Amino acid sequence: MVEEEFRNKISTVDEKGKRVWIFPKKPSGKFYSKRKITSYLLLALLFAIPFFKIDGEPFLMFNIVEGKFSLFGQVFWPQDLYIFALITIIMVLFIILFTVIFGRLFCGWICPQTIFMEMVFRRIEYWIEGDWTAQKKLAKSEWNAEKIKKRALKYSIFFIISFIIANTFLSYIIGYEEVWDIATSAPSEHIVGFIAILIFTFIFFMVFLKLREQVCTTICPYGRLQGVLLDSKSLNVIYDYKRGENRAKFSKKIDRKEAGLGDCIDCNQCVNVCPTGIDIRNGIQLECVNCTACIDACDFMMEKTNQPKGLIRYDSEDGVSKNERFKFTTRVKAYTFVLIALVGLLTTMLVLRSDFEVTILRTRGTVFEHNTDGEIYNIYDLSILNKTNRDLPVKLKLMNHAGRIQMIGDEILLKSRDDIQSKFIIYIPEDEIKSLKTTVEIGIYEGDNLVETTSTKFIAPKI
């Protein structure tokens, strides 16, 4: 029963429900080196992206305050909500497909939480407090000059990095120029922005100082979804129990095969390096973020004991139990098909997406009128949203009908990424009108360039 205890509670909680603090051993090895390179490239991208612009628009920005979003330099407004909804569905489906095939590869290699925790904050901790045994010792020790010095240094560096992360995070929301403005002005000039930076800094500071692996094991919904998404064919960091059991300590005097022993020498190194405090030999568990630290630790021990590497490796449950290689299952094929279809639909929508949003409605409470020139006229309300980065002086023209348009008030100057409301009148000669309701097409021109067409109804008296 003791061996099965891991099934009753997560690894970071003791029998009394108290948090068990994890002191993972500093990892090293082939996978760790590759993860370091991947992580630092991704971090460089994360910090650089807010400064990228295409045609003056941010490469990526999610301005929830103004309801303006920029993806790859393309600006989206609340009117483009359907495109965003489709992008969200595609992302969810992509995550499902990715997880069905690659398990939690995202958690270990791409997730910002893991990258910051393991490759930034944890490494700083190793540098200041030493490896896991030294950290344990320091945690237990009385508050003396050395402990105060080390902790003060750690907290200060953690806080500075959290401040940088908070500013970067905010840059993705309101743009780096605005963040710079907040950071360089007196707090009273941008009180909301200043408080937002402080709150985000504090949240990131506490996440990386205290919360740590709890984000992955108890808060992140993606981690909780694994049980539903993974199947026996999904790739995972997995212990080859067929090869490893029966586990027993290593001894040069014993021939393990003859003694009926497996390759696991029960050295516990895979457990010592685990940042979520689990024993991967108990099977795939929700705490495992696929960080691969245990693969490196075990490979090292296998080398030391002249046994083949890969006792812990990336493989599927079927790979271990039936020696089956990865195959495209019907489930994966179905997800892939739907995903390709949705990406096709999104591409079409983006290509057909108009740069302008035009709404023309006949002014409420008005009907047709006659004038002395033998024309009938209707009055309309006009609303145009300019999604482009250009300021455009525009004119309206009738496209399919004799007649003319007259603006009420000034000519229209559409400011970039702005909308404008106006009124205009359509005049049509009486003898050109053939029915009570005529559909008229209206062209919106920038100079001689037709930038958008739309249509509306023109009403007239009984003929």
Give the binding site for ligand SF4 (CB under 6 A): 237, 239, 244, 264-270, 273-276, 278, 280-281, 288-294, 297-298, 301, 311-312
Q: Pick from 43, 164, 172: which is nearest to 111 by CA?
A: 43
What sign does the dihedral 67-47-107-217 (CA atoms) show?
A: negative
User: In this complex, which beta carbon is closest to ligand SF4, that of residue 22 or of residue 134?
Assistant: 22
User: In this complex, which beta carbon is closest to ligand SF4, that of residue 75 or of residue 298?
Assistant: 298
Instruction: For the CB of residue 197, give the shortest distance to ligand SF4 in the complex, in Å.
Output: 32
Locate 286 and state its tokens. 């929700």
User: In this complex, which beta carbon is closest to ligand SF4, that of residue 165 or of residue 294?
Assistant: 294
Do residues 295 and 312 touch, judged by C-beta distance below 8 A?
Answer: yes
Instruction: For the CB of residue 304, give the shortest distance to ligand SF4 in the complex, in Å.
Output: 10
Instruction: For the CB of residue 239, give the shortest distance to ligand SF4 in the complex, in Å.
Output: 6
Instruction: For the CB of residue 281, give the shortest distance to ligand SF4 in the complex, in Å.
Output: 6
Instruction: For the CB of residue 301, give the shortest distance to ligand SF4 in the complex, in Å.
Output: 5
User: In this complex, which beta carbon is closest to ligand SF4, that of residue 175 or of residue 223?
Assistant: 223
Instruction: For the CB of residue 319, give the shortest distance to ligand SF4 in the complex, in Å.
Output: 16
Locate 419 and state its tokens. 């909308």
Distance of CA 1 to the CA centre of its chain: 41
Instruction: For the CB of residue 360, give the shortest distance to ligand SF4 in the complex, in Å.
Output: 59
User: In this complex, which beta carbon is closest to ligand SF4, that of residue 182 or of residue 273?
Assistant: 273
User: In this complex, which beta carbon is closest to ligand SF4, that of residue 265 or of residue 428?
Assistant: 265
Instruction: For the CB of residue 209, give the shortest distance to ligand SF4 in the complex, in Å.
Output: 20
User: In this complex, which beta carbon is closest to ligand SF4, that of residue 113 or of residue 438?
Assistant: 113
Instruction: For the CB of residue 154, give the shortest distance to ligand SF4 in the complex, in Å.
Output: 23
Instruction: For the CB of residue 58, give the shortest distance to ligand SF4 in the complex, in Å.
Output: 35
User: In this complex, which beta carbon is closest to ligand SF4, that of residue 302 or of residue 426?
Assistant: 302
User: In this complex, which beta carbon is closest to ligand SF4, that of residue 290 or of residue 456?
Assistant: 290
User: In this complex, which beta carbon is closest to ligand SF4, that of residue 80 or of residue 263?
Assistant: 263
SS3 annotation, the chain: CCHHHHHCCCCCECCCCCECCCCCCCCCCHHHHHHHHHHHHHHHHHHHHHHCEECCEECEEEECCCCEEEECCEEECHHHHHHHHHHHHHHHHHHHHHHHHHCCHHHHHCCHHHHHHHHHHHHHHHHHHCCHHHHHHHHHCCCCHHHHHHHHHHHHHHHHHHHHHHHHHHHHHHCHHHHHHHHHCCHHHHHHHHHHHHHHHHHHHHHHHHHCCHHHHHHCHHHHHHHHHCCCCCCEEEECHHHHCCCCCCCCCCCCCCCCCCCCCCCCHHHHCCCCCCCHHHCCCCCCCCCCHHHHHHHHHHHHCCCCCCCEEEECHHHHHCCCCCCCCHHHHHHHHHHHHHHHHHHHHHHHCCCEEEEEEECCCCCCEECCCCEEEEEEEEEEEECCCCCEEEEEEECCCCCEEEEECCCEEECCCCEEEEEEEEEEEHHHCCCCEEEEEEEEEECCEEEEEEEEEEECCCC
